[in-house]
Structure 1
Amino acid sequence: MAQNPYVNLGWNPVPGEPGEVEKLRIQLVNSASALQTAYQKIDRLLGESSFWEGDAAVGFREALDGDLPKYMKDAHRSLTLAAGHLGAWHGGLTGRRELAHKYDAEAADHKGELKAANSRHEAAKQDPDLKLAGQTFEEGPELQAAQARLNAATARLNDAVTAVNKAQGALDDVMRKARELEGTHEAEARDLAKKLQDSTKDLAPEEPGWLSKALGWIGDNLTNILGVLGAVAGLLALLCTGPFGIAMLLAAGALSVATMASRLSDPQVRASLKDGFTKGEFDADFWENSVGLAGDFLGAVPGIGAVSRGLNGAVQSTRFASEAVSTGQFLGRFADDTVTAAGRIMTSGANPVGDLVVRAVGGGQGLKTAMDFASPVAGVGTAGFGLAADNIDGLNDGKGAATAIDTGRAGLFDGPAAASLIGNTVRLFG
């Protein structure tokens, strides 16, 4: 994944690479030129009967004198139009990227100002002269001096609050501008997509349909695909550390939730589960779907736990804040607390059964690591096998074994680990 060049904004409001757009435009121009040259040569062959004569020449001209010349000419026009649209997009993209860099620099300045203002505010709140408001003094110079000190401390606190609000407002304003820029960029992208689509309308030959077939295959296998992606993300969360590992843990949770939703949206899955619970039809499909849903839930637990702890931390921080917290500040605290919680979950190494096995056999760190990796690696394998089995008839007989493996994983590893995490999270809210 490309690194975000706008680190102070926190996201890329104008995704796209002008250099790649220009390369594609040049390729389209060259392709259009090649098509034009080919069309001109074919047109010349069709028009110059003296250039080549005989039965072979007649057959050749009859073969060409059909849709091919028209397709080549129309394709040339399509590519030329598309190249023009990409050229316009390139210019707009370059300008929007420059504006995004400007906003990013402003965000950096305002964040520095906000940090300084917050420090000043914290110092002003600790001013001992503010405590003079609760004290009693005799009339005269002593009272006047105390009142002057209190007034000065109060003024400094008010000035500090004003500075915080001003800095926060400036930062929120530049973020708003960046969001508006993102909206403009997305609108321009949609407009470009429509223009590119229109440039091929009634001009170029029909596509062979590979894209539609690919999208159809993805739709037919969406649950399995999401399951594979979630399993891979979970394994990467275990393999990697730092921000990438945390991102993978949260991604695994989100993908598990998406897999569960996709699985339950299938009428056949719902019917299988209903028949199992209401009619006692505990067939292979029932167990496969039940174990799949259980695995989806267990895969989502770490991500949900991190988000729940992050939300709780943000709420608690807001409750005990000394002043009103803006939406931006709340979301920032929520994000920070979620990332912190995800990092703690990653390093907790919650694998009760695995740890029990290691202690029972007197194993060392190597065995513990192997036990920690046993379930995620097996999960990637069974998820990948499930996707393959739904597309290759010869693998259907192995689905029962994959379901059995997933059942063992859920009962021996993922279930106890999830129960421990859920218990810790519930106690946190308690």
Structure 2
Amino acid sequence: MAQNPYVHLGWNPVPGQPGEVENLRTQLTKSATALQTAYQKIDKLLGESSFWEGDAAVGFREALDGDLPKYMKDAHRSLTLAAGHLGTWHGGLTSRRELAHKYDLEAADHKGDLKAANSRHESAKQDPDLKLADQTFTEGPELEAAQARLNAATDRLNDAVTAVNNAQGALDEVMRKARELEGTHEAEARDLATKLKDSTKDLAPEEPGWLSRALSWIGDNLTSILGVLAAVAGLLALLCTGPFGIAFLLAAGALSLATMASRLSDPKVRASLKDGFTKGEFDADFWENSVGLVGDALGAVPGIGAVSRGLNGAVQSTRFASEAVTAGQFLGRFADDTVTAAGRIMASGANPVGDLVVRAVGGSQGLKTALDFASPVAGVGTAGFGLAADNIDALKDGKGATTAVDAGRAGLFDGPAAVGLVGDVARVFG
């Protein structure tokens, strides 16, 4: 920290280094001059063609004849304005520092006067003649002499008190002026900041186009978008049959894994989970992130199960093949076996809790179908609501309810179904 140069004031009412301000102003001026020179040369190249002709000259001029000259001219104007504002600030800073130094010297003098006045006041209070007021004297010269001595001591005490008050008042006044100078300095600093910001308006890039804004929005909401896509793909895997259903099942698994990776790549998510497990901070963010990760993992299980079975089938086929298998043949078998495994997973329609409910109430096939669709439909709804809540403040309070719904889905439907699939895969590899 820089040492306070105004030790008698006790603080620096005018912070700032004129030398650094001047160096920055000089650099801006040089940059503005260089831009002006470059602009003038480019303008000359664009305006004169007699000294340079041919295809290269045409191509060069076409490359330059656009926004570049305008940007250079605007930048020159902006830097020139900024340098001018810094020059004005430098002059004001220098004069205010000189005034602060003057106040600092005055404060030193007044503090010296106050110290001397306090010492004088202490001495005056100790004058033994003040005690004469408590004594009794007979009429005559003795009384008159005592009264004269008491009056003189009282006058000296009064003069000392007046000196203390005057010295303190003078010190208070110079401190008031220093605080007033500080306020003026801060106001000038804010004005300079505004002027510097205004001077760089021409340097600011244009507002991003719709594509840039869209890409930025996707980046900011990538996890929620992937979650919506995974939920929709999972629902379509139930609605569609044949190759389309298989494709959506595998896509749902891949998107669920991508959602999990995106979620874990967020430092805020990792910090929330860490605080929950290490500090016991089980707040709304912890549960939202935990349930989200569990849902991502469960959503990936069918796809992982199909790929695992496909890989195992391709490996077993290769092991027992009568002749060498090429990489292309291995990949072909892997793809075929994966599709077959995905079809079996879809056909099994694993929903242990739903099946249990149907058997318990003696329900029809319609009830079983409704229960099979309950979790995917709810997943699409909660994922869509989560994406909307991330962008609409009025909906944020409802995220707790969607977390509860997702937790219920995981416990009642997706979790038991995943346990069965994981068991099947384990048996295949076992």
* TM-score normalised per structure 1: 0.52
Partner residue, 2:297: 297
Deviation at 1:212, TM superposition (A): 1.2
CA–CA distance in structure 1, aligned partners of residues 208 and 339 of structure 2:
46
Asked if residue 213 in structure 1 is aligned to residue 222 in structure 2, the reply is no
List aligned pairs for 1:171-190, cutoff 5 A. none
1:365, 1:282 → 2: CA distance? 41
Question: How has the CA–CA distance of structure 1 residues 262 and 208 changed in structure 2, closer, same or farther, with 3 Å as cutoff?
Answer: closer
Alignment partners' CA distance in 2, 1:359 and 1:350: 15
Residue pairs, 1:256-271, within 5 angstroms? 256-271=256-271
Name structure 2 gaps, 5 residues minimum: 1-61, 68-204
- Residue 365 of structure 2 corresponds to 365
Question: 1:207: Cα distance to partner?
Answer: 7.4
Alignment of 1:346-425 (within 5 A): 346-425=346-425
Per the alignment, residue 240 of structure 1 pairs with: 240
- What is the aligned partner in structure 2 of residue 225 from structure 1? 225
Question: How far did residue 211 of structure 1 move?
Answer: 1.3
* Percent of paired sites with the same residue: 87
- Structure 1's consecutive aligned runs of 4 or more residues displaced over 6 angstroms after TM superposition are none
Amino acid at match of 2:418: A
Query: How many pairs does the alignment contain?
Result: 230
Following superposition, the deviation at residue 208 of structure 1 comes to 4.6
Q: Output the amino acid matched with 1:397.
A: D
Residue deviations 1:237-293 (CA, integer Å, cap 9, x gap): 000001010000000000000000000000000000000000000000000000000
Q: Render the CA deviation track for 1:198-252: whole Å, top value 9, x for unaligned.
A: xxxxxxx967522111101000000000000000000000000010100000000
Query: 1:43-192 maps to which residues of 2 (within 5 A)?
Result: none
Distance in 2, matches of 1:260 and 1:275, equals 19
Distance in 2 between residues matched to 1:253 and 1:349, nearest whole Å: 16
Offset at residue 392 of structure 1 (A): 0.2
Instruction: Determine the structure 1 residue equivalent to 2:278.
Output: 278
Which residue of structure 2 lines up, in the alignment, with residue 321 of structure 1? 321
Residue 276 of structure 1 aligns to a residue whose secondary structure is: helix
User: What RMSD, in angstroms, separates the aligned Cα atoms of the two structures?
Assistant: 1.7
Match of 2:160 in 1: none
Amino acid at match of 1:305: G
Aligned residue for 1:254? 254
> What SS class does the counterpart of residue 391 from structure 2 fall into?
coil
CA distance in 2, matches of 1:400, 1:218: 23
Query: For residue 332 of structure 2, what is the aligned residue in structure 1?
Result: 332
Equivalent position amino acid for 1:317 in 2: S
- 1:84 is matched with none
What amino acid is aligned across from residue 405 of structure 1 in structure 2? V
Which structure has the bigger radius of gyration?
2
Deviations 1:351-384 (A, max 9, x none): 0000000111110000000000000000000000
Alignment TM-score, normalising by the size of structure 2: 0.52
CA distance in 1, matches of 2:235, 2:210: 32
Instruction: Give the whole-Å Cα distance in 2 for the aligned partners of 1:346 and 1:227.
Output: 21
Match of 1:345 in 2: 345
Q: In the superposition, relative to structure 1, how do residues 291 and 328 fare at CA in structure 2: closer, same or farther (>3 Å)?
A: same
